[in-house]
Structure 1
Amino acid sequence: MKTKCSWTLIALAAMMLVLSSCSLSPNRLPSVKAGVSSDYKVTLKFASVLNLPTGADVMMNGLQVGRVESLNESKDGVDVVVGLTASRPVPADVTAIIRQNTPLGDTYLGFTLPEQPTNQGNLHDGSVIPMSRTTSPPTLEDTISVLAYFVNGGSIQKVQDTMNTLNKTLPDVKNVRRIATTVATDLNDLGENVDEIDRLLNGLNGVAKSFPESKVEIEHVFGDEGIDFFHTVGYSLVRHIATLLPSVGSVFTGGLWVTPLLNSVATAAENAAPIWPAGDKMLASGNDFISNTLKPFLKNPRVAITSVKAMGSDRQMLADSASVLRVLGVVR
């Protein structure tokens, strides 16, 4: 009897274990992290929560402030009930978002503090965070689709082409270093001479300030009086120069006679134009005549008669003249 009772109890325990395990799911498993106390409950309204499990952590500023207790479907989306600890107050104007540290990491609920707090106090038991201050995460399909478009849409290739273009456009590393060295030297020189720059700027500032102080003089220079002065000086200067220079003055005062003179000079130059090409030959011939003919004759002036011819009765006279000249020794 004892053996039968023992087997009966064992069978009943096994049946209860099987029946209880049918209602067990991963979502009902508690978080393996160190938990916090659940002092009050707050409801957050989400459009969707994807795979957010019950027992997920609620984080704020890197610290756990509660856990997700239940997920309830509503007409607008999903109501997430969280239990928060009273030891870490949560401002009433926080925003909530469902996050994952990694694509395969645990999903958790994160509170984000506003940039400009509204001083609405802290969350309390029964508080509701509306959907306007909650952010649902994108679906995994959308994330994969975005990544696929980024990879297959040519974005990576465009980045690579851009980098190749930059590498081709920029000079060699040696030249870049040389340019950087030159720029660094110039900047150091500029930094060492800041006092000179200040002195230059102060001088320019002083010049700029002098203009308002000399406003009256400047107005006289560029006003009607200044225009009249420069007009008088220019007129007097041109008139006296025209009087001092006769040629210029005659052109201004009575230079009509210059026109016929210039025409005559132009005509003479045109007539003498054919002479100029033969000028060198004429000069050479003149030099040869003076050097080889005129100068020797002037040094020893004489005439050598080589022959005499006569016609008719003049032949006898010519013969007699030759005899006389031969006697005198003039003719050989």
Structure 2
Amino acid sequence: MIERRKRTRVAAASAIALTLAVTGCEWNGLNSVPLPGTEGRGEGSYSVQIQMPNVTTLSQNSPVRVNDVAVGAVTGIEVQDWHALVTVSLNEDVNLPANATAKIGQTSLLGSQHLELAPPLGVAPEGTLRDGDVIPLDRAGAYPTTEQTLSSLSVVINGGGLAQINDVTRELNAALNGREDSIRDLLPQLDQLVGSLDSQRAEIISAMEGIDRLAGTVNEQTDTLARALDDVPPALEVLVGQRQNLTGALIALGDLSDTATRVINESGDDLKSNLASLSPILRELAGTGDALTEVLSLLLTFPFTMKTIDQVFQGDYANLNMMIDLTNQRLDENFLADTGLGVTLGGLEGALGSIAGVAGQANDPLGIPEPSGPDLIQPEPTPVSAESDSPGGAPTP
């Protein structure tokens, strides 16, 4: 019996030694030995490697989960270029995109951990995860552990603002006590304000975009603004040097304002009278219509209008057609009327009722009138026409 037990012990030791030899003569505890019945060990399973920045307490044979369902196990953990390289074995039916993510999570509060595989968030899935693929560092990480959560909570409770909640509550109670009606009226007004702001979201966004564009334009003109700011001190020095003159000008402007006010107050009635007298003049000017503008067109080109002056003057000569009345009676009426010499020139012609010695008018304005007897009366003046082609435009009688 004793020898049988010895043989059993020797066989067990030999089996252990053989297992160590087959696994590379390395022993990392029971977790380094594949456990029967775990996921990812069956036929058709495939391996994937994951670059992890920190494996925390993850160990070999830890489960691999997809949507909280175990689909594989961790088969190896090693160090590679200052980070961990985790090898996992997955069941054949596990279908994940090639850009899947990996995170270490805590399975229970006792500290056991697992590896969570999931499709990427916010990114479209690409390809299919296959045997031998590697999930890089930028898609690997870990969920906060219980220790980290409790540590953060202790910071909030001990060194954060949680201790001041009592003070905040007391101050709020003191501020609201006795003002319940005002607060009750404030709430609908606040709701109306929020609703108004919500209805003007487009305008507010447009204004903010305009401010952003303005800021961008100002940023583009930084050099110009810097030069302008550099030029401000010399300009201020000039203003400081002219301070007395500016002060005197402002004082004089004040005196002018006082004088103008006094003049207006003293001459108010006269000013009103002048404005009242000006009203009919302006009314008559308005009544002239286009006549005033037509007269103004003759002012600079008298005796010709601006519309016909180019027809009168052709190069170095001018066309002229005039009717000149040089009778004694006309000269007497125009130049000697109301004088001591009045009716001197027109006495004989006035008595006869015609031009002295002339009883008719030639058909040719440049010809000599035909004589007639005293019976024929010609009251009309003798027209005399003259045309000039001289450069100066002077008429030839």
Sort the TM-score into its range (normalised by shorter chain).
0.3 to 0.5
Name the TM-score, length of structure 1 as normaliser: 0.44
Higher helix share: 1
User: Could you say which structure has the greater relative contact order, defined with CA pairs below 8 angstroms and 6 or more residues apart?
Assistant: 1
Name the TM-score, length of structure 2 as normaliser: 0.37
